[in-house]
Structure formats: C-alpha cells, structure tokens
Structure 1
Amino acid sequence: MKYPALLNFRDVLPQLDEFDCIIDARSESEYALDHIPGAINCPVLNDEERIRVGTMYKQVNPFEAKKVGAGLVAKNIARHIEEKWLDKPREWKPLVYCWRGGNRSGSMAHILAKIGWPVVQLDGGYKAYRAHVSEALSEPPAHTFKVICGTTGSGKSRLLEVMAGIGAQVLDLEQLAAHRGSVLGHLPSQPQPSQKMFESMVWHTLRGFDTSLPVFVESESKKVGNLRVPDAVMAKMRQSPCVSLSLSRENRVRLLMEDYEHFTQSPEMLNAQLDCLVKLHGREKIDSWHGMANSGRMPELVAQLLAEHYDPAYLKSIDRNFVQFDKAEVVELGDISKDDFLAAARRLHPPSA
C-alpha cells in the first residue's frame, strides 16, 4: 500500500483499534466538541490561528492567506513531531483526520509518510465519522439489555460500577454523561460533554461489546441532565428485561448522603437546585426544605425528598416506561457495603458468565 493511504471510514472501522495513534488535526475547540474516542488532539492550526488565516482569506486574498497558513501548519506539525513522535519506530501506524479529510490532515499525513511511517488519512474526516455514528445509533442496538431498576438511592450506579469491575458488559449512561440523572444530579467538578461527544461514547462502548452476552444498563429517563439518550437505544432499553434493586429507605438515605456529600458542604448549591421543584411542590414546601439544608438537617431532608418527590415519581413512571418491569428479577441489598454490592453483582453476572 502506498502511504499516506486515503481510506473511508467504512474501511477504517474494522482496524480502528489497531492504529498505534489516532490523531485529530483540528483545532482544540473542534476536538472538545466531539472526536473519535481515543484520539489525541494535535492541531495543525489552533483556534486563534484559524481565525487569523480565515480572516485574511476573506479580507485580503486566498494566496496571501495560504502562505501564512502554510508557515503556521509547518511549524505546528514540526512541534508535534519533536514533542510526541521522535521516539516512534518505523512500524508506528497512525490514523490522521481533520474536519473533512482535506488540507489539515493531508498536510500532516504527507509529512508523516515522507518520514517513513505507514500513515492513514481518513477520507471525509470527522464528518464521515460523525455520519457513521449517527446512522449506527439510529438503529436498535443488536445487544440484549438487562435494565437495572430501583428507586433513587437504591444503588443502581454502584452496582453497575461493581459489575463492570468483575467483567460484566455495562453501559453506564450516567458516567458517560457526567450526571447522576436527577434534578440534583449535576456533578460540580465535571461538566457534561456535548451531545455529540456523549453519542460518540455510547457508540464506542456498544461497539466493544460481545452481542452474545447481555449489556447491563440503568433505567434512565430520556434525558440525563442536558443530554438526550439516543432514541433507538432508549426504545430498546424500555422493551428489555428488568432487574429490580431493593434497598431499605434508611440505607438509601445513607447512600445518598455519601454520594451527594458536595451538597452537605454547600447548602446554597443544593437550595438552588431545589428551586427547580417549585412548580411541583410549591414555594412553601421548597422553603421548608431550604430551612432543613441551611440548618444541617440533611438526613431528614433526604428522607423527605425520597418520600415526597423521588419515590412517587418513580412509581408513577417505571411500569409505564419499562414494559417488562412487572416480571423483573428482584435483588435485595441488606446494606450498602462493598460486599453487599459484590454479592448482588455476582448473582447477576456469575463467575462463569
């Protein structure tokens, strides 16, 4: 094969995991919005440089813009080679892409190939990749889902984490979305990814699974924070067999106190989120909950939120949205220790599975 090789995404996909490096040659803001999972960002033009060259292209003329752009591209590619790839052997095989698979990735691929590396350039670039992801997620997944259901605080996310740790196939949508899935689910230390990046991670996770084995997933609503679960994935989840995770309310309060410790340290942040519930519960009730938060009565507040908000909402929606819930396998947790979750995980995913 002659290098740089120009391949479309359909041809690249079967060998996507075999590349030694996937290089996103776009700017840092393009990369942050979405990228092929596992790719590293090595801009041939950064955000500021793209604006500079683009402005010159429009206000001066294309020739002058290309001269300036070529100098910047050459400097940036040289810097990436010196900082990242001087130690790579001749057999090192990178995949390079940009927005459409044109000048930016073409420049980098050309230089890497001239050095002697078997570099592949993605024809159609990120746009071709994104079209494939959108098409793949528009079809129902080929996998068999098992949906972990349970009231708020019953430990669904902890169970999924333990199951993943013992080798089960887990699609943890809340982890991918960086959100715990309720009005209080925002993680202060971690912003949510873009919708496109979320979809990329869902696609990437599912493509790595064995379709002959079940995929465990939590009973999410259509949105996890600000992000929407792909419609075909959600439809498949709602038709799938369920597991009902059971935990006493006392232990659920304990678990939530651990998982939402940041709210106990910042009542102001908690109260701001509680204000989102005014339309459902009225100003008087929300003010009462504010008072509990401000006075440090967090266990009492959590118990009331479960009894008056979360549990009624769960019971109202679960049967309607997950059609096999009435036949769910019940898994009871006696406590919230690691051993309790490990025992539950092994029940659902025995060592021989």
Structure 2
Amino acid sequence: MRDITVEELQTIKNPIIIDIRSPIEFKDGAIPDAINIPLFTDEEREIIGTIYKHEGQATAKWKAMEFVSPKIPALLNQIKEAMTNGEDLVIHCWRGGMRSKAVVTFLEFAGIYAMRLSGGYKAYRQYILQQIPTMFPEKAIVLHGLTGVGKTEVLKNLKLRGYPTLDLEEMAAHRGSIFGTIGLGEGNNQKTFDSLLYKGLQEIQGSSHFIMEAESKRIGKVVQPEEMMDKKMKGINIYIHTPLKQRVKQLVNEYVIPFQNEPWYHEQISIGMEKILRRIKDIEMKKALVHKVENKEYQEMIGILLEYYYDPRYDHATLEYDGMFIDIYADDSMDASMKVMAEIDKLLLKKKKVYEGQI
C-alpha cells in the first residue's frame, strides 16, 4: 500500500479519485472530479458513530465489518468500472484512516493497485486554503455592466478562445440577482466553492492576468477570498453597455424560457421578489411588480426591475474600484465578446511593448 500526499496528488495527470465517504460527507465538500463510491450509507455511518460513542471502538469496528462485508464485491466492481484507461487510482476518506486503508487492502487482494491519500479530504482542504492566496495572477481584468448585458456569456466566450478566466458565479452555482440559483440547484457551499476556485486557479497558472466578473464579495452562500477582492478592486475595468431591450431579451432567454413551465419556477421567482420588495419604498412600483409576478408577466417584470431597481444600485457599486475604466458599447453578448477580446489584446500588446522598452 502506497500513501501519497496532497502535494504528490497534484503531480499526477488525470488520476481517478475515489471518495469512499458517505453521501452526506461528499455533498458537504469534495475534490473536483472525484467519484463518490461510499463504503457506508449515511444511516450506517450514523449508527457506527453512535456505537463508537456509547460502546467503544472495538464494538463500532465489528458493526462496521458487518455492514461492509456483504458489499465488498459490488464495491470493488464499481471502482473497477470507474477505471477506463489504466489511470492512477487514488482512494481517500475523511482523514486517510481505516475506511480508505480497508478499501485499498480489498483492492490489492483483487489484484488492483491503488494509492491512498494521506490525511484524506481534510488534508486536501487544508492544503488548498493555504495555496489559494498565493495563486492569483498579477493583474485582474474585471468585466462590469448592468444586469443582463451578458457578462457571463462574454466570460465563457473568452474561455473558449483560450483567455484565462475565473467564472465565480459558476463556482458558487449562484447568480447575483433575483434569479439566484435558478437552473443551478441549491447553490454551492464554501467548501465546494474553494475547491472549484483552486482548480480554476490551477488552470490559469503562468498567466500574467485573469478575467472575472465584478461580483460582490458574497455570492449566494459563499465568500470570495480577500486576495481576490484586492486584485479585483485594483484591476483594469471593462464596462459593457448594451441596450435595455437587448438586456431584457438576454435575461428572458437565459432565465425564463428554459424554466418557466417547471412547477417550482413561479414559487422561486415569488420568493426572490419578496426579498426585493422589502427594499423598495416606491408604492406604485411595488404594486406593478406584484401584479406582473402574479400574472406571470416575467418579461415586463424584468424590464421594471432593470430600469428602476438593479441599474441604480449597480452604478453606485462601480465607485468602489480604483483602476481605469474602458467603455464598450455592443449590440449583444457576442458583439461584446469580440470587442472585449480586442481591448484585452490591445492592453497586452501595450504591456509587452512597455516591457520590451518600445514605449
């Protein structure tokens, strides 16, 4: 049996990582791309914990053996099926203890070589929290724009063309508006966000800059690290402008049309609207918004929200930034993507000339 450290895990290309913790542990936080093949169910884990607390370690181990023994053939088959091209196999549990040791031992008996992650998920989490503050490229390029200009689409288009991007909304599984987690599940917790941020930073290592949206410090359930906030506030700012009509169309296409017939959609929009209404003092605007929501007139609701709620709040937030602003006027998100790329290329060319002493 070979134990590997979290640092050694980073050097393995495309490992197959098997997380044998219970589903509830895996859901709380996991290594990105890890496969959950639990040794115990949530209920079994709870029973073993209770026995350990009241009857001691020996009795708890015996109960664990009773639970595991009938599962061994199916468990090994699941792990074997996860191995497709002979990749390195890494097994881990919470602290690299008895669970992972037992599974690696079973695998060795079956003729399958596997490594065990020393310290388990706990060591991985400690490692990434130490590394993240040191991994940010030198300069942030921050995308600004009123709600609906398509900043997320611009970011995705840039990534497809090889630009170094960090999509924080995707990592948080949350959008900073009434649409919150629509189409994204219940939103990620801090552990999952940190893991995805670490992975994203790994992907852009070596770059002198990175591109991100102008998100507030809190996105849904998660909080950005201070180092990222500092980079963002001192970055180069690109402000995207698109017509109000196009912004409404963008939001309808993205957040209404794909989901409006789902049974949960109207309730989720209503809950989001209740939070907004508590912040609005204009009685007539409140009545108009309530009417639009009740009648499921989502397009008209979005138009009112943009013009009288989100736009004034957003413009105020831009005053917090120290860096220069570059304005881009575009017809839609694809037009904005091309113009943003042109501006970034221009900035990088200028930086290169400065470095080479041509300016």
Question: Fold conserved (TM > 0.5)?
Answer: yes
Give the counterpart letter for 2:276 in structure 1. L
Give the counterpart letter for 2:80 in structure 1. W
Distance in 1 separating the partners of 2:82 and 2:10:
27
The 1:116–1:89 alpha-carbon spacing in structure 2 relative to 1, beyond 3 Å, is: farther
Structure-1 residue corresponding to 2:88: 93
C-alpha displacement of 1:59: 3.5
How many residues are matched? Answer: 342
Structure-1 residue corresponding to 2:304: 304
CA RMSD across the alignment: 2.7
Which 5+ residue runs of structure 2 have no aligned equivalent? 350-359
C-alpha displacement of 1:90: 11
Q: Which residue of 331, 335, 340 corresponds with 2:332?
A: 335
Q: Which residue of 237, 244, 248 corresponds with 2:239?
A: 244
Q: Deviations over 1:305-336 (max 9, x none)?
A: 2222111111111121x211xx2222221235
Distance in 2 separating the partners of 1:182 and 1:101:
40
Structure-2 residue corresponding to 1:173: 168
Q: Aligned ranges for residues 171-320 of structure 1 at < 5 Å?
A: 171-187=166-182, 190-261=185-256, 267-282=266-281, 284=283, 285-295=285-295, 297-320=297-320
Distance in 2 separating the partners of 1:126 and 1:14:
17
Give the counterpart letter for 1:302 in structure 2. I
Q: Deviations over 1:124-182 (max 9, x none)?
A: 11111110122123446235321111111111011112112222222111112121112
Structure-1 residue corresponding to 2:2: 5
Aligned 8 A contact 1:45 1:76 in 2: no
C-alpha displacement of 1:92: 4.5
Distance in 1 separating the partners of 2:318 and 2:32:
33
Give secondary structure in 2 for the equivalent of 1:58: helix
Give the counterpart letter for 2:319 in structure 1. D
Give secondary structure in 2 for the equivalent of 1:81: helix
Within the alignment, does 1:145 sit opposite 2:140 as a pair?
Answer: yes
Give secondary structure in 1 for the equivalent of 2:143: strand
Aligned 8 A contact 1:264 1:298 in 2: no
The 1:110–1:188 alpha-carbon spacing in structure 2 relative to 1, beyond 3 Å, is: same
Distance in 1 separating the partners of 2:305 and 2:289:
9
C-alpha displacement of 1:9: 1.6
Aligned 8 A contact 1:7 1:120 in 2: yes
Aligned 8 A contact 2:171 2:197 in 1: yes
After superposing the two structures, state which structure 1 stretch, 198-207 or 298-307, moved more.
298-307
Aligned 8 A contact 1:185 1:225 in 2: yes
Structure-2 residue corresponding to 1:34: 29
Give secondary structure in 2 for the equivalent of 1:113: helix
Distance in 2 separating the partners of 1:231 and 1:342:
28
Q: TM-score, normalised by structure 2?
A: 0.85
Give secondary structure in 1 for the equivalent of 2:30: coil
Give secondary structure in 2 for the equivalent of 1:171: coil
Aligned 8 A contact 2:92 2:120 in 1: yes
Structure-1 residue corresponding to 2:353: none
C-alpha displacement of 1:278: 3.2
Q: Deviations over 1:186-216 (max 9, x none)?
A: 3155111221111111111111213225321
The 1:306–1:76 alpha-carbon spacing in structure 2 relative to 1, beyond 3 Å, is: same
Give secondary structure in 1 for the equivalent of 2:338: helix
Give the counterpart letter for 1:14 in structure 2. T
Structure-1 residue corresponding to 2:50: 55
